[in-house]
Amino acid sequence: MNKIVEVLPDKAILIARALDVVVSKMQAAIEENGWCTIALAGGSTPKPLYEAIATQALQWDKVHVFWGDERYVGADHPDSNQRMARLAWLNQVSIPEANIHPMPTSGENPAADAEEHQAQLRDFFKTSQEEFPNFDVILLGIGDDAHTASLFPHTEALQVKEQLVTVGNKDGQPRITFTATLINHAKCVMFLVAGAGKQQALAEIFAPEADPLTYPARLIQPQGELWWLLDQEAGKNLNR
């Protein structure tokens, strides 16, 4: 694992730095493989990054967009991560609809929808039951409780190692989420963290010893690159 930690002066500069790194990796993947695969984080932090990516001159027909987790709501629900990314980015560019791979959340059965998305991923990446796809980029955030994606503290999802996708649980509300194992198979994982509210979570995540079941972002130890892009507010007291 190649870990890069950068503390940027403010969120705008953090987003600009993230744009530079993410777009260069997308372009490199397209040049090398003919396409790129990126899985998006939800929440509020990455929205300006998605707006900025929409301004870039990328070969959109070669870009495939996924989500690392999704709230178990319809695609037009205000809480939908898919809705946020479509409004901020995907609706603004000429990306084919077939290149957009949302997590299914329309059923009544989160476990079945997680299975369905897992099958969709295996079909897209042409991987066997034993293999894990290698996303070019996976974007993540952390909550104040040190969760990431929808891997929340002391939930069953943290124990799911052999699957690509599973059901997360936030205070009893179901989520669909990549497993830590799938995330750790990415070529590049990038955390975007901003705001003083994340300081304590970061301190626990970066501490030499801490329980990953209590601080799930600690489970993210990818075989590829691990980027932590922090603004000063979040990262100023961090022992890196």
Summarize as ranges the residues that interact with ligand 6PG (CB under 6 A). Answer: 41-45, 69, 71, 81, 141-143, 147-150
- For residues 72-105, one letter each, b for 16 or more C-beta atoms within 10 angstroms of the residue's C-beta and e for the rest, the string is bbeeeeeebbbbbbbebbbeeeebeeebbbbbbb
Least distance in angstroms from the C-beta of 83 to ligand 6PG:
12
Nearer to ligand 6PG, 81 or 166 (CB): 81
Least distance in angstroms from the C-beta of 213 to ligand 6PG:
16
Least distance in angstroms from the C-beta of 209 to ligand 6PG:
24
Per-residue tokens: 25: 């990796």
Nearer to ligand 6PG, 23 or 143 (CB): 143
Nearer to ligand 6PG, 62 or 121 (CB): 121
Where does 126-224 have alpha helices with state H? 180-184, 199-206
Q: In terms of residues, how long is the chain?
A: 240
Task: Give bridge partners of residue 70 from the DSSP assignment.
Answer: 176
Q: Parallel, antiparallel, or unpaired for β 165-170 and 173-178?
A: antiparallel
Please list, in sequence order, all residues whose beta carbon lies within 8 angstroms of the beta carbon of residue 87, skipping any fewer than 6 positions away. Answer: none
Least distance in angstroms from the C-beta of 137 to ligand 6PG:
15
Least distance in angstroms from the C-beta of 229 to ligand 6PG:
12
Please list, in sequence order, all residues whose beta carbon lies within 8 angstroms of the beta carbon of residue 78, skipping any fewer than 6 positions away. Answer: none
